[in-house]
Amino acid sequence: MTGTGPMPSAHTSESLTHVELTWVEGRIEYWIRFGRVAAERIIDRRRRVVSFRPGAIFGFVRWAANDYGTVISRIDIVRAVEHGAAYQTLPFVRPGGEILLKIEGWPKVEKVLQHIDAVEATDVDPCDAAPDHWRHVAHRMSAGQEPRPYTRERHQAWLKRREIER
């Protein structure tokens, strides 16, 4: 037997996806709109790091302004990846993730937030919605079209498809 230390955790910090959040009222507001946080580390009263397990889907909103107005308004819906898997880089997300949706500009970000609210209104947690749905929303919005709503029926179909694929 080698080593007598404690058994390593099934989800070490290395296997988690870490998101740096900042909140300076009216200047920098980075927050998680939805997702199941696996761990949280408070750095100071304005900054913290939240972590997600591999496969977890979360919505990350970034808004910042200067003396002249908004300089960034963006939402990303991301799936955390397994340690060692390929990923896309994203500011403030370490190491990165699979980007399912990337929308910039407040009017479009606001529409995505409303769409997330509509998913929640069907009693579905947005982090449980089909990843393909978030891709659909991104593509429809980039084409200037309204995305199809996520219904309970669509969600049930996704759950059955996921069950079959396992």
Long-range interactions of 136-139: CB distance < 8 A, separation 24+? 137/101, 137/112, 138/77, 138/100, 138/101, 138/102, 138/103
C-alpha 134: how far from chain center: 10
Average pLDDT, rounded, for the chain: 92
Q: State pTM to two decimals.
A: 0.89
Rounded to whole angstroms, how far apart are CA atoms 34 and 126?
Answer: 7
Is a pLDDT exceeding 80 seen at residue 12?
A: no
pLDDT tens per residue across span 89-122 = 999 999 999 999 999 999 999 999 999 999 999 9
Task: Report yes or no: 130 and 160 within 8 Å, Cβ to Cβ.
Answer: no
C-alpha pair distances (Å), 156 with each of 1, 50, 130, 152, 160: 47, 30, 10, 6, 6
Structure tokens at 81: 């990846």
pLDDT the model gives residue 83: 87
C-alpha 136: how far from chain center: 15
pLDDT tens per residue across span 133-153 = 999 999 999 999 999 999 999
